[in-house]
């Protein structure tokens, strides 16, 4: 068996100790590894300059250690394995990290003594020891430190000599020779770079090596940067990025940018880059797919950001700040995020960038200046806010931090216009209404709006528009003071003043005032009060002329406001409209296809809510107008998808309200219109149509009116029972087969009057479905419509109730009664329940329904007089009360 040939000497003991400590896993460097290899070579009796012999001896040494069970020797093996894995036995000559082409640079290869024995690299700071060996200063110093850590005397790695002195003497002659050689290398590389960068088309295969060398020259030999600049290399790289960006790809673009980044440390090179358009090229690289390219591009921008002019140039480039802001907020790439944040912070220093930064969503500089700056700065920042197009989140952020400052600026003459523009911009977000109201903005705005001394109509318009935005939705403004005397927006004082402004303001200001009145009129808390103030202030005369205003927007809000008033004072408004002969105007507006949808739908709703006489209905709405209304409803239903707009829903509401006129007093002319245009079918279809509650309510009321008329006239259609001889024949032979079948509800044929019978027109199921509607008014209308089917208590009453039971109406009504909390709905449902319980078989069926009994008892105890009467009769019929229910009970028992 063959073993490594060595004797245990002081040097061998030192090597053993060093390898053992290295085995403990401490960090090391290539210089230390070289020194250890040299010590090991001497211990093994091998010349370190003969790699093959050293490799063979190390192999034997390693095999010997593998057979050992000693912990210390195993540590030596571990350290040796690690050193050998990272150290090449064959030394590779590295020429100061400059990638030297072998063929081109063979004549200027480095001398062996240029290389540090420890690093195997060309030395930058060569120093000599007392052993006369020369090393790179940093490498030998690190070796000395390691020796001291190991508790042994420093040695010369090459000779193994224990040093008495650690003095490091600069090898000036060798340093000069190396420097001269390096300059020759740099010149060679600059020349090579120019040649490759000048090629057309550019050679992609060589570019990476060229860019690496340029970067290394710039970093390791800063004094040589002028050579690159004077040779035109900087301009060539910028040109390559501009003209060959797609050809070289993201990887080489990144290398090019990092080379320019290094060269940017040269002031003249910076100027060349700026003049060549490096700003735009760097910003373009921010969109690159490679994270490394984006990171290097941001680094390049950061390098230039010390110059304010450059910061301004970045901000002016389209999309630059948006990209940087996006990167700064992307925490998935922390290093890139931090770099982008640094660039943005540098740009925040420049006053002229504030608006650009805000446009990119970075509002801190603007808000800081707006809240903490001088009055002039605050006014300038307010102007910026007023001019900007803001997202909703931006509006909220700015309002929360600056609303009070903006309100304060309203008191300063020079700050009033900028602040008004800013407040108007912020008020465009509904959620900001509360923030602005809490900032006491309303008194300041009304003071400007109501100021007779201020000649500026623009300021009035802005103040009015801002108030209109604030009150456009119900909210905190309803409880806030609107002027310095403490009046609220819905107060008589404010409403009267607004009505007065309508007669003296500019058309644009009039629109905003109309919007304000509409906003406070549509608030559930203020609507009735404001409507009464408008009426008391003779506002009808002021508002109605706007229905014919030449400006579209004025007309639109004139119609909106008139519609809101009609819901409270339909009769009074109708009288005023008659006085001005405006009824035809409403009809013409509705028929005018050139008017806006909003005007037409509001005109329809106004007509529907006015208290029109029977003659007005016939003359104004009769004839072809009914057909037009029905056709419009059909067309709107066919052309609308599952979701309908607010305007479409309003049009439905208005048209159905107009058709209701023809169901209230049914004469022969009206009946003809009902049958000709199938109004019951029209109403029924609207029940299942996705629309707001008011539309369903009106449709149910229309069905109620038609069915009610049928119930009242059903007895006229019922044939008299035969008498005399014919009666016996009829009894024996039965009726002829040609006799039409009777309606089980009305006990007479309903085919001819099918547009009056809920059963024949399949309206019962859609009405039952409305019991589950969330709106109580819809439920009430559905119950009222179905109640018309049990209003007649003639001989056919039991048959009608049985038919309703077959259609699940009875159970649905009883369930609704036991579950509802609304007093009015409970009363309506109870009336129907009491009617149903007059039929004996239904009494037996529901007598054990405890929920029903409890509901009836609660209604009997707590309801109004009418409810208590119906509950008492129902409980009596259920035999839950011992008492009399008047003639009704006796009559019912007689009918049974």
Helix (H, G, I), strand (E, B) or coil at 172: helix
Averaged confidence pLDDT in the chain: 84
Considering only residues 102 and 657, tell me which one the structure prediction assigns the higher pLDDT.
657
pLDDT value, residue 582: 86
Helix (H) or strand (E) holding 694: helix 693-717
pLDDT value, residue 93: 42
Beta strands in 52-196 (DSSP E): 126-128, 134-136, 169-170
What percent of the chain is predicted at pLDDT more than 90? 45
Torsion-angle region of 516 (φ positive above 0: left; ψ -120 to 50: alpha; else: beta) = alpha
The DSSP bridge partners found for residue 121 are: 94
Residue 454 CB neighbours (<10 A): 14
Q: What is the spatial distance between Cα 551 and Cα 380, in angstroms, rounded to a whole number?
A: 34
Q: What is the spatial distance between Cα 586 and Cα 718, in angstroms, rounded to a whole number?
A: 43
Q: What is the spatial distance between Cα 18 and Cα 12, in angstroms, rounded to a whole number?
A: 10
For 33-88, how does the pLDDT look when each residue is reduced to its tens digit (9 = 90+)?
777 777 777 777 777 666 677 677 777 777 776 777 777 666 677 676 666 665 55
Helix (H, G, I), strand (E, B) or coil at 155: strand
For 66-81, how does the pLDDT look when each residue is reduced to its tens digit (9 = 90+)?
777 777 666 677 676 6
HSE at residue 172, side-chain half, CA atoms within 13 A, is 0
For 220-278, how does the pLDDT look when each residue is reduced to its tens digit (9 = 90+)?
889 899 999 999 999 999 999 999 888 899 999 999 999 999 999 999 999 999 999 99
For 352-372, how does the pLDDT look when each residue is reduced to its tens digit (9 = 90+)?
899 999 988 899 999 999 999
Instruction: Please give the structure tokens belonging to residue 373.
Output: 């700056």
pLDDT value, residue 1: 39
Looking at the predicted structure, is the pLDDT value of residue 488 above 70?
Answer: yes
| Average confidence (pLDDT) over 816-833 | 87
Helix (H) or strand (E) holding 685: helix 679-687
For 270-326, how does the pLDDT look when each residue is reduced to its tens digit (9 = 90+)?
999 999 999 999 999 998 888 899 999 999 999 998 888 889 888 888 889 989 998
Looking at the predicted structure, is the pLDDT value of residue 625 above 60?
Answer: yes
pLDDT value, residue 793: 60
Looking at the predicted structure, is the pLDDT value of residue 133 above 90?
Answer: yes
Q: Which residues contact 857 (CB under 8 A, 6 or more apart)?
A: 871, 875, 880
Q: What is the spatial distance between Cα 494 and Cα 516, in angstroms, rounded to a whole number?
A: 11
Instruction: Please give the structure tokens belonging to residue 555.
Output: 């007309």
Residue 732 CB neighbours (<10 A): 7
Looking at the predicted structure, is the pLDDT value of residue 893 above 70?
Answer: no
Considering only residues 366 and 673, tell me which one the structure prediction assigns the higher pLDDT.
366
534 closest CA partner among 579, 486, 480, 572:
572
Q: What is the spatial distance between Cα 382 and Cα 410, in angstroms, rounded to a whole number?
A: 11
Looking at the predicted structure, is the pLDDT value of residue 106 above 70?
Answer: no
Q: What is the spatial distance between Cα 660 and Cα 680, in angstroms, rounded to a whole number?
A: 11
Q: What is the spatial distance between Cα 781 and Cα 785, in angstroms, rounded to a whole number?
A: 6
Q: Please, are residues 357 and 348 in contact by the beta-carbon 8 Å criterion?
A: yes
279 closest CA partner among 288, 292, 270, 267:
270
């Amino acid at each position: 068996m063959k073993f490594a040939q060595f004797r245990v000497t002081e040097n061998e003991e030192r090597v053993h100790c060093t390898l053992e400590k290295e085995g403990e896993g401490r960090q090391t460097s290539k210089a230390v590894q070289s020194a250890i290899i040299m010590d090991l070579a001497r211990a093994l009796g091998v010349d370190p300059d003969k790699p093959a012999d050293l490799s063979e001896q190390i192999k034997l040494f390693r095999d010997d250690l593998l057979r050992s069970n000693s912990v210390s020797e195993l540590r030596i093996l571990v350290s040796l394995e690690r050193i050998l894995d990272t150290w090449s036995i064959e030394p590779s000559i590295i020429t100061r990290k400059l990638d030297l082409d072998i063929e081109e640079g063979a004549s200027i290869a480095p001398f062996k003594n240029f290389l540090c024995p420890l690093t195997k690299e060309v030395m930058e700071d060569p120093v000599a020891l007392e052993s006369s060996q020369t090393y790179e200063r940093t490498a030998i110093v690190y070796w000395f430190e390691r020796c001291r850590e190991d508790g042994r005397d420093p040695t010369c790695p090459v000779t193994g000599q224990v040093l008495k002195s650690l003095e490091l003497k600069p090898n000036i002659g060798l340093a000069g020779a190396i420097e001269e050689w390096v300059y020759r290398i740099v010149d060679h590389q600059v020349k090579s770079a120019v040649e490759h960068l000048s090629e057309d088309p550019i050679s992609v295969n060589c570019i990476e090596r060229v860019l690496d060398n340029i970067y290394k020259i710039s970093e390791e030999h800063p004094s040589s940067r002028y050579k690159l600049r004077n040779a035109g290399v900087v301009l060539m790289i910028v040109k390559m990025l501009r003209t060959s960006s797609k050809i070289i790809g993201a990887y080489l673009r990144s290398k090019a940018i990092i080379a320019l980044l290094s060269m940017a440390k040269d002031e003249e090179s910076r100027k060349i880059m700026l003049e060549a358009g490096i700003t735009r090229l760097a910003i373009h690289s921010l969109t690159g797919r490679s994270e490394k390219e984006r990171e290097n591009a941001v680094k390049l921008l950061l390098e230039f950001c010390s110059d304010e002019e450059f910061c301004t140039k970045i901000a002016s480039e389209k999309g630059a700040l948006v990209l940087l802001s996006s990167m700064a907020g992307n925490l998935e790439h922390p290093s890139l995020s931090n770099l982008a944040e640094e660039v943005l912070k540098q740009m925040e220093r420049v006053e002229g960038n504030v608006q650009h930064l805000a446009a990119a969503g970075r509002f801190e500089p603007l808000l800081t200046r707006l809240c903490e700056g001088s009055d002039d700065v605050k006014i300038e920042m307010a102007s910026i806010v007023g001019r900007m197009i803001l997202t909703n989140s931006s509006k909220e952020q700015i309002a929360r931090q600056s609303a009070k400052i903006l309100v304060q600026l309203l008191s300063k003459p020079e700050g009033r216009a900028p602040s008004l523009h800013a407040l108007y911009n912020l008020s465009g977000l509904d959620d900001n209404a509360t923030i602005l109201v809490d900032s006491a903005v309303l008194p300041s705005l009304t003071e400007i709006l109501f100021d007779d001394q201020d000649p500026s109509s623009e300021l009035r318009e802005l103040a009015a528009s801002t108030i209109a935005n604030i009150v456009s939705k119900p909210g905190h403004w309803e409880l806030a003071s609107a002027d310095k005397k403490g009046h609220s927006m819905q107060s008589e004082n404010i409403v009267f003043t607004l009505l007065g402004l309508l007669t003296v303001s500019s058309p644009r200001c009039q629109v905003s005032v109309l919007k304000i009145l509409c906003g406070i009129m549509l608030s559930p808390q203020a609507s009735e009060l404001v409507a009464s103030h408008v009426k008391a202030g003779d506002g009808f005369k002021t508002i109605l002329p706007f229905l014919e205003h030449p400006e579209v927007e004025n007309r639109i809000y004139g119609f909106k406001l008139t519609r809101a008033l009609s819901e409270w004072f339909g009769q009074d408004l109708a009288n005023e409209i008659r006085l001005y002969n405006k009824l035809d105007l409403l009809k013409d507006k509705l028929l005018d296809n050139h008017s806006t949808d909003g005007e037409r739908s509001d005109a329809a709703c106004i007509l529907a809510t006015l208290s029109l006489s029977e003659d007005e209905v016939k003359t104004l709405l009769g004839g072809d107008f009914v057909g037009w209304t029905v056709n419009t409803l059909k067309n709107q239903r066919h052309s609308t998808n599952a979701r309908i707009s607010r305007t479409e829903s309003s049009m439905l509401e208005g048209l159905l309200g107009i058709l209701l006129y023809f169901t209230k007093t049914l004469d022969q002319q009206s009946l003809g219109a009902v049958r000709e245009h199938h109004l019951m079918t029209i109403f029924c279809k609207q029940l299942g149509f996705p629309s707001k509650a008011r539309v369903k309510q009106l449709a149910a009321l229309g069905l109620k009116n038609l069915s009610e008329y049928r119930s009242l006239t059903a007895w006229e259609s019922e044939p008299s029972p035969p008498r005399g001889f014919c009666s016996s024949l009829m009894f024996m032979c039965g009726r002829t087969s040609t006799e039409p079948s009777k309606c089980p509800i009305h006990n007479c044929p309903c085919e001819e009057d099918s547009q009056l019978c809920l059963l024949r027109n399949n309206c019962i199921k859609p009405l039952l479905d409305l019991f589950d509607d969330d709106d109580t008014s819809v439920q009430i209308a559905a119950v009222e419509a179905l109640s018309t089917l049990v209003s007649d208590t003639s001989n056919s009453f039991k048959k009608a109730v049985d038919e309703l039971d077959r259609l699940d109406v009875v159970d649905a009504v009883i369930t609704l009664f036991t579950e509802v909390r609304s007093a009015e709905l409970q009363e309506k449902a109870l009336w129907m329940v009491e009617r149903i319980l007059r039929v004996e078989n239904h009494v037996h069926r529901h007598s054990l329904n405890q929920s029903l009994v409890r509901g009836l008892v609660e209604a009997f105890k707590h309801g109004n007089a009418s409810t208590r009467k119906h509950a008492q009769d129902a409980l009596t019929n259920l035999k839950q009360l011992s008492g009399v229910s008047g003639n009704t009970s006796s009559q019912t028992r007689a009918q049974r």
